[in-house]
Structure 1
Amino acid sequence: MTVSRQFLDRVQASGDLEAYRFPVGDHWESITWKETGARVARLAAGLVALGLEPEQRVGIAANTRYEWILADLAVMCAGAATTTVYPSTNAEDVAYILADSECRVVFAEDAGQLEKLTSHRSELPHLDKVVLLDGEGDGDWVMTLAELEQLGKDRLEAEPGVVEDRVANTTGDSLATLIYTSGTTGRPKGVRLKHKSWTFEGAVIQAQGILDEDDLQYLWLPMAHSFGKVLLSSQLACGFATAVDGRVDKIIDNLAVVKPTFMGAAPRIFEKAHARISTMTESEGGAKLKIFTQAFKVGKEVKRLQHEGKSVPLPLKLQHAVFDKLVFSKVRERFGGRVRFFISGAAALNRDIAQWFEAAGVLILEGYGLTETSAGAFVNHPDDYRIGTVGKVFPGSEVKLGEGDEILVRGPNVMDGYHNLQEETEKTLDADGWLHTGDKGSLDDEGFLTITGRIKELFKTSGGKYIAPPAIEAKFKAICPYASQFMVFGNERNYCIALVTLDPDSIVDWAKENNLGGKSYSEIVSSDACRAMVATYVDELNNQLNRWETIKKFELLDHDLSVESGELTPSMKVKRNVVETNYSDVIDKLYT
């Protein structure tokens, strides 16, 4: 099976059903599978008309939007391979990715993305054409999406079977996607993923029976990330409709309008939602705060009894029903009121936050995988989940623990290798086909996997104790509703320290209540009151840690970390080594 065949089969099976909806101005427009199929066919034929050959690469440098998906599906149906480029990637790295992958065509979102290509055109000898999603063509190197579609329409009139021929000649072993992992160190590496890897992912989700044509997905994740791509594979397999809008600042507003039944997200979204709801309630205080606190106490107790297979006593059941109406229903309404579950991936989800949402009737199913496993390798099931784990390995694939409890995965979803990097491939993918993930884990008797740390992120104090920073960092973000980032250091030192950034949105409300309203972010975080507030949460954290893990000193940074500063990857992971280098003087002072 190939992605292109999977798509054409979906168009045939679900023709008149809704496939996508997307914002146009202040309203949403909808398009059916049949209409999507017609547009994709024209764009695919247009790519063929440009001279694109099977398995040659086509870049997409754009934010998550309906046209991104059209472009990707067109590339698949032309028998070519998509190379994903984050729109936030700097011009030098864009040039490296497009040159390394030998992209023949690039779909560029706008003038800003085009400028990155123009400024490095001499380094891109293979790039024949740029297709602009927003903007005008130049009659030569740059054409519009509409012009590509017209080119394809003309080609289809002359050769009606051109797209079907390309689809028929593509196999499961054909290259489908090159995703360049931004990583936390060094140059990005191109992960080669075959068609059969993506169709396997979709088939696994379909086989679980948790999604069907009646579902509605809200999709905002970066499509340049494997998590976003795997959700597209799942849609093709299951046939549900997808509302697409990559604007992160619009998520909460859009959820209320779209009312999806499920959504994939990174933990940061849940952390922010948890913090926002908690701080708003705390600021109201009084009876509302007491009801809120008691509601979650009852909700967690009900879930505990249910997980243990025990009956819920009638008085507790009645209390829960009251709190569900007064508190939990309002939490669910913030997400549109119809969500059956969220899928969390890309980073570790804190157990306390997951339990908090579960108590409110919002189930977050945590999964785990890498770009090298086509995103998904493990996931919890709505009827078979354990909070704190990432679920069981996908049916049809295997897992085992290697040296140092490293998680090893083997299956159809594992990459073909790193593009042009044979030595790197051999380090990661052994002769028996096992992918060495670099993550540590433990497996329980039923096969649920718990991630216990990243091998390269573990460090040892001068006292000989091993520390896993992500676990400590996740605990703090669950405790402190104002936290954005909490980075723990202490390699070969005699104690641990932390660099802290606060969420710019959340801290505004705190500032108003503490006589700092109207102050800038840097002024707020440099105040004695703010430092004292953070210190209180650090003390609370330390009470939950082993003595050797406790944070002895911390420093509040005068700005939050960002993708633009190079301190976060586009999937919002902290580049620990970059932060450590950038703030080496701050860290050193905490040890003097």
Structure 2
Amino acid sequence: MSSLKHVGPLTVEVTPGRPEQGDTPAVSAVYRNVAAAEKFTTTVDGSTTLYEIFKASAEKHADQKCLGWRPRGSDGKCGPYKWLTYKETQDKAYSLAAALQKLGFEPHDKLGIYSSNNVEHMLTLKAVDVISAVVVPIYDSLGDTAVEYIVGHAEVRAIVVEEKKVSQLAKVANGISKLVRDVIVIGEPGSEAAPLRDAGIEVHGFAALVDGASASDVAPHPPAPSHHACIMYTSGTTGTPKGVGHIPVTHDDSTLSYLTLAHIFGRVVEEFALSRGASIGYWQGDVKALMDDLKELRPTLFIAVPRILERVADGVRKKVAAGPALSRVLFNAAFTAKRLLLKTGLSHGLAGLGGDQVVFSRVRQAMGGRVRFIVSGGAPLSPEVEDFANVALAPVLQGYGLTETCAASFLMIPDPRLAYSVGPPLSANEFRLESVKELNYSAEDSPPKGEVCIRGPMLFQGYYKDEKKTKEDMDADGFFH
């Protein structure tokens, strides 16, 4: 280990680069997280699949809060969060798995989910793991044609759909009826489901299915690590989300679920939270009520995309600008001082002494007042917004990755010295840079520049039913481009 060349606080060079050879571009050295210098991380506390990970969490954190939602009152307003414990979540997932088996579901059958984030969505994901089936998310933003294409291409056997999406699904009832035998409605299957029934599709209520089965009725068929867990469009992924270990999360932490579970970023974060015994509170489904959900849940881990943080920053700046002159002076002075201290490399805790308690505590109340870390992904975060969040809200951990690389391939640690970067690689992948002549990027420069190529157990198995595209994006050395 001592002979390894460090190229960052947590990044080491494991094999040398290769010069340009004819038409083959030059590549840089291969880099890994220092924790994976000799061997990749391929398990989570000894577990190798999502099924094993949640089973272990349910045993260890049985009575801890797991999944939460806000019941809506007769006045239409949402009340405080209600919770399922880990044991209750596991029991309901097993009951749903038993119900799916009664409907004829077999291992490796495909189950579509056409729903925004909610407790039932996660229960479905956990139920599918129990019987080694495959989840096929259907994005909320996709139109009728795309829904029909996904169902046909993935050969979806059944679909779980939230009540407000039933009418959309019904539009393609005839087109999907050759494959889809059952539709399970989160809510009440009303008259909107008539076209589905007319097409010969059985329609069930989610709650009735779960209540009508017992956890003891299921015959578990645990998946192997090589089995597909999920097929995501336009990209595919498989296996266990691994290596988000830079974030110190425990059973005392909580996060708000609002970034769609149909995308890999939201899915991986929630699976990681469950692996640590943390609790997940689901939003109302309305972006205008997001801040209300944050205040009610008071999460300790906030997952965001840049546009959300931009809105928060703009809102705070407008309030400060409209406030008393003395408040503006205090805020700006505290902001400038903390930002300068962070740029010297001082830790967040020391840089914020005084200012955090006196000035920024009010700002943080807008997000519940307990956020310890903000994880940002999905797009680059501007330095201005990153500075604002680091100073006034909580340490920002920016990451980089793709659906094909199981979301975050790189993730910052809460260290001001790594500001404005995506941090080191995670411990389940490695990367190298490949020269791109058209852009004047050379992997032989110091430091090297080029296309980021990633390899390791976090990679997807390939594009579903598209071997040609898979071969185009994977080189002979096994790196994804």
TM over 0.5: yes
Q: Separation in 1 of the partners of 2:475 and 2:208?
A: 46
| Letter of the 2:293 counterpart | N
Q: Separation in 2 of the partners of 1:381 and 1:349?
A: 16
Q: Where does residue 475 of structure 2 map in the other structure?
A: 430
8 Å Cα contact 2:429-2:455 kept in structure 1? yes
Q: Where does residue 32 of structure 2 map in the other structure?
A: none
Please give the per-residue CA displacement for 1:124-162, whole angstroms capped at 9, x wherever unaligned: 221111000022267862111023224533xx66xx4x4
Runs (5+) with no aligned partner, structure 2 = 1-47, 73-78, 437-449
Q: 1:297 aligns with which of 316, 336, 340?
A: 336
Q: Separation in 1 of the partners of 2:60 and 2:269?
A: 19
Please give the per-residue CA displacement for 1:444-467, whole angstroms capped at 9, x wherever unaligned: xxxxxxxxxxxxxxxxxxxxxxxx
Q: Where does residue 162 of structure 2 map in the other structure?
A: 109
Q: 2:85 aligns with which of 25, 28, 32?
A: 32
Q: Where does residue 54 of structure 1 map in the other structure?
A: 107
Q: Where does residue 341 of structure 1 map in the other structure?
A: 373
| Letter of the 1:252 counterpart | M
Please give the per-residue CA displacement for 1:161-181, whole angstroms capped at 9, x wherever unaligned: x432x12xx20000100111x
8 Å Cα contact 2:159-2:182 kept in structure 1? yes
Please give the per-residue CA displacement for 1:17-65, whole angstroms capped at 9, x wherever unaligned: 1111111112210110110111000101111111112112101011111
Q: Separation in 1 of the partners of 2:166 and 2:417?
A: 45
Structure 1 residue 383: deviation in Å? 4.4
386 and 128 in structure 1: CA distance in 2 versus 1, 3 angstrom threshold:
same
Q: Where does residue 237 of structure 1 map in the other structure?
A: 275
Q: What secondary structure sits across from 1:393 in the alignment?
A: coil
Are 2:316 and 1:272 equivalent residues in the alignment?
no
Q: 1:122 aligns with which of 174, 196, 203?
A: 174
Q: Where does residue 145 of structure 1 map in the other structure?
A: 206
| Letter of the 2:271 counterpart | S
Q: Separation in 1 of the partners of 2:159 and 2:393?
A: 43
Return the structure number with greater helix share. Answer: 1
Q: What secondary structure sits across from 2:232 in the alignment?
A: strand
5 Å matches for 1:128-207?
128-136=181-189, 141-153=202-214, 160=217, 162-164=218-220, 166-167=221-222, 170-180=223-233, 189-191=234-236, 193-195=237-239, 197-198=240-241, 201=242, 204-205=243-244, 207=245
Runs (5+) with no aligned partner, structure 1 = 181-188, 437-592
Q: Separation in 2 of the partners of 1:113 and 1:99?
A: 19
Q: Separation in 2 of the partners of 1:384 and 1:409?
A: 26
Please give the per-residue CA displacement for 1:414-434, whole angstroms capped at 9, x wherever unaligned: 111111222211111223221
Q: How many residues align?
A: 404
What value does the CA root-mean-square deviation take over the aligned residues?
A: 2.2
Q: Where does residue 22 of structure 2 map in the other structure?
A: none
Runs of 4+ in 1 over 6 A off after TM superposition: none
Are 2:315 and 1:254 equivalent residues in the alignment?
no
357 and 232 in structure 1: CA distance in 2 versus 1, 3 angstrom threshold:
closer
Please give the per-residue CA displacement for 1:184-243, whole angstroms capped at 9, x wherever unaligned: xxxxx341x222x32xx2xx23x4461111111122111111111101220232111111
8 Å Cα contact 1:7-1:236 kept in structure 2? yes
384 and 233 in structure 1: CA distance in 2 versus 1, 3 angstrom threshold:
farther
8 Å Cα contact 1:299-1:360 kept in structure 2? no
Q: Separation in 1 of the partners of 2:182 and 2:323?
A: 57
Structure 1 residue 290: deviation in Å? 2.4
Q: What secondary structure sits across from 2:309 in the alignment?
A: helix
Structure 1 residue 322: deviation in Å? 4.9
The TM-score, its normalising length taken from structure 1, stands at 0.65
| Letter of the 2:114 counterpart | A
5 Å matches for 1:246-395?
246-284=285-323, 286-307=325-346, 321-360=353-392, 362-383=394-415, 386-395=418-427
297 and 208 in structure 1: CA distance in 2 versus 1, 3 angstrom threshold:
closer
Q: Which has the higher contact order (CA 8 A, sep 6+)?
A: 2
| Letter of the 1:282 counterpart | A
Q: Separation in 2 of the partners of 1:209 and 1:280?
A: 31
Q: Separation in 2 of the partners of 1:306 and 1:392?
A: 17
The TM-score, its normalising length taken from structure 2, stands at 0.79
Q: Where does residue 588 of structure 1 map in the other structure?
A: none
Structure 1 residue 321: deviation in Å? 4.8
Q: Separation in 1 of the partners of 2:247 and 2:361?
A: 26
Q: Where does residue 23 of structure 1 map in the other structure?
A: 70
Q: Separation in 2 of the partners of 1:344 and 1:163?
A: 39
Q: What secondary structure sits across from 2:213 in the alignment?
A: helix
Structure 1 residue 387: deviation in Å? 1.3
Q: Where does residue 29 of structure 2 map in the other structure?
A: none
Q: Separation in 2 of the partners of 1:330 and 1:17?
A: 29
